[in-house]
Structure 1
Amino acid sequence: MLKIILALTHKKMKQIVLVCFLAFALSSCKKQGSVQTLYLAHTLPQTHPVHKGILEFKKALNEKSNGKMDVRIFPDGQLGSEREVLELLQIGSVAVTKVSAATLSNFVPEYHVLGVPYLFRDKQHQFEVLEGEVGKSILEKGSKFWLRGLCYYDAGSRSFYTANKAIRTPEDLKGLKIRVMNNQMAINMVNALGGSPTPMAYGELYTAIQQGVVDGAENNPPSFVSSNHHEISKYFTIDEHSSVPDVLLIGTKFWDKLSNQERQWVQEAADESAKAQKIFWQESVEESMEIAKKFGVEIIIPEKSLFQDKSKSVLEDFLKDFPEMTDIVTKINKQ
């Protein structure tokens, strides 16, 4: 136990030292007339398709600015969790980050909408919305919370996977304990479908499935494989109940210091990286599905409308709690 405490303390101290360094660097780089460096922190491993998209952002920004702007990346949660890094953006210690819209909804309420089950008809509809008027409006809403959205990254769609019982219809979820994020909408969705939602830390999930503490979970294919959950799960049901994107953000404390030209370079680089990241994501999905099949996982393609119909109450309850979001949902449905 002492070793664990010391290890956690060491990690936290390392984060504090890094943050102090970044705070100094951000405040001094323009005074020195040096290259304008954006410090970017995120929680994903360097093999992840989102990290590859971020590398494209770095490359594009450097090229557009002719070397006047650069990005220094801190992956793997080096500077803390998504919530912690968002707080660093707000105070100006870090310039850019990538977080899930689900995490961001705790700071900017409008992002809650993007977690509604079956909000989007398909992938094309999702990105038509996100890259159109509605999506851009939500990105801008974060500015009043010092979190300016630059673009959306594809984070896939979440589907159910289980250890011992196949899910082919919502009725198959009855009595099953399904791990979900500690998020009210995710909890409501599993309840609506007849399952028993069980929030728990993601790091505990492998053992929980292995020991039967939970019967399964829900996530996208790359996460299903990268977490090694395909080793202990026999079934993966592609019901795609939610498609919550990732968001690339810049802190307004940094953004406000940039010239109009620098802002243009940053935004154009972000948009180009989003296009490349979609390709990386699709490649990762296809590769992950092939790996899962080799491990004997049965890939099930259910009738999605059955799941969609049973989860309609989640949207109804959401709009009761957030009536101001009705206009956004209406615009999405009309698009």
Structure 2
Amino acid sequence: MSCKEDDGTKMLYLAHGLPRTHPVHKGMEEFKRVLEKESNGTLKVKIFSDAQLGSEREVLELLQIGSVAATKVSAATLSNFVPEYHIFGVPYLFRDKQHQYDVLEGPIGKSILEKGSKFWLRGLCYYDAGSRSFYTSNKAIRTPDDLSGLKIRVMNNQMAINMVNSMGGSATPLSYSELYTAIQQGVVDGAENNPPSFVSSNHYEICKYYTLDEHSAVPDVLLIGTKYWNKLTDEQKKWVQKAADESAQAEKVFWNESVEESMKIAIEAGVEVIKPDKSLFTEKSKSVLEDFVKNNPEMATIVDQIKNQ
């Protein structure tokens, strides 16, 4: 399915779970455009969006057996296969957006991309998936102390759970599809996510406080299965990597545009946007990094390299 040859052309099937309107999907469309242009049409890309071929985990398994050529998944999902991706879940790992880009596009980021090869999942590039921040229905969060007593929905991920609990909140893992109703019914008091997700999920309709504490910035990763990659010539591999690199730069622009548009919609709907003193949140969540490094000593060097870059 991933490597259909017809008249000298190779077909690359790229499957992911996002809607076609999403900035990351637009990044993948740029990957398709550049690759088909670079290869003079000898490498063609067919994109399957909206989880047509399965969930993130299911598509990763299709890559491993060679049924699909490429996919985009969150680094959080990928950490179940490649432990080094857990690092990106550490709160306040990056000083700012430029620091994040420098790390991901430099030797550290490239080294982590390559670590997936032994699991048949070769990383090509990172896509910006923004920063996650808190939003709540009835109480504004201006300092970490305001999280006390609040039930905050998180992904079913130990680092996310530890982070909210370290700040004084009560982390509540819950399916994303159930979240709107859970907030409405008071099962949880709020959640945390990036601006485009906050708006596309319609959570801004029922959560009128959005605190831009930007506690984590977990990127998306464009992956190619090594079963497909190893069938490419050296020249074809260069075309694929070039297309990935150019698509990553284009996706940054699409992402920033989406953030601006989402924030505009939220503010016009009456959401109060709070810009807190982030250092208070950084200080409160330090134990998460300390525990992570203590429990994963082999990751400590990478974390130090990131912090010192």
| TM-score normalised per structure 1 | 0.91
Structure 2 CA distance for aligned equivalents of residues 114 and 37 of structure 1: 32
- Secondary structure at 2:129's aligned position in 1? coil
Of 87, 107, 126, 2:61 maps to 87
Task: Show the counterpart of 2:297.
Answer: 323
Structure 2 CA distance for aligned equivalents of residues 248 and 93 of structure 1: 16
Cα deviation for residue 34 of structure 1 reads: 4.1
Task: Show the counterpart of 1:299.
Answer: 273
Instruction: Say whether 1:129 aligns with 2:114.
Output: no
Cα deviation for residue 151 of structure 1 reads: 0.2
Report the residue type matching 1:138 in the other structure. I
Of 227, 230, 240, 2:201 maps to 227
Unaligned runs of 5+ in 2: none
Task: Show the counterpart of 1:201.
Answer: 175
Task: Show the counterpart of 2:238.
Answer: 264
Cα deviation for residue 160 of structure 1 reads: 0.2
- Secondary structure at 1:214's aligned position in 2? coil
Report the residue type matching 1:103 in the other structure. T
Structure 1 CA distance for aligned equivalents of residues 8 and 139 of structure 2: 59
* Structure with the larger helix share: 1
Task: Show the counterpart of 2:140.
Answer: 166
Unaligned runs of 5+ in 1: 1-21
1:193-240 Cα offsets, whole Å, 9 max, x none, are: 000000011000000001111000000000000000001101000000
Task: Show the counterpart of 2:150.
Answer: 176
Structure 1 CA distance for aligned equivalents of residues 245 and 154 of structure 2: 31
Of 294, 312, 330, 2:286 maps to 312
Task: Show the counterpart of 2:256.
Answer: 282
Runs of 4+ displaced beyond 4 Å: none
Of 153, 159, 177, 1:185 maps to 159
Report the residue type matching 2:77 in the other structure. T
Report the residue type matching 1:322 in the other structure. N
Structure 1 CA distance for aligned equivalents of residues 195 and 207 of structure 2: 12
Of 223, 235, 247, 1:249 maps to 223
Structure 2 CA distance for aligned equivalents of residues 102 and 275 of structure 1: 21
Instruction: Say whether 1:117 aligns with 2:70.
Output: no
Cα deviation for residue 321 of structure 1 reads: 1.5
Report the residue type matching 2:147 in the other structure. L
Report the residue type matching 2:211 in the other structure. T
- Secondary structure at 1:238's aligned position in 2? strand
Report the residue type matching 2:133 in the other structure. S
Instruction: Say whether 1:54 aligns with 2:24.
Output: no
RMSD: 0.7
Greater shift after overlay, 32-41 or 313-322? 32-41
Structure 1 CA distance for aligned equivalents of residues 7 and 295 of structure 2: 50
Of 149, 152, 169, 2:126 maps to 152
1:170-194 Cα offsets, whole Å, 9 max, x none, are: 0000000000000000000000000
Structure 1 CA distance for aligned equivalents of residues 233 and 103 of structure 2: 29
Query: May I ask how many residue pairs the two structures share in their alignment?
Result: 309
Overall identity of the aligned pairs, in % = 75
Task: Show the counterpart of 1:36.
Answer: 10
Structure 1 CA distance for aligned equivalents of residues 45 and 150 of structure 2: 45
Structure 2 CA distance for aligned equivalents of residues 181 and 83 of structure 1: 15
Structure 1 CA distance for aligned equivalents of residues 59 and 89 of structure 2: 21
- Secondary structure at 1:175's aligned position in 2? coil
Structure 2 CA distance for aligned equivalents of residues 41 and 146 of structure 1: 16
Cα deviation for residue 80 of structure 1 reads: 1.1
Cα deviation for residue 257 of structure 1 reads: 0.4
Instruction: Say whether 1:334 aligns with 2:308.
Output: yes
Cα deviation for residue 33 of structure 1 reads: 3.4
1:117-145 Cα offsets, whole Å, 9 max, x none, are: 00000000001000001000000000000
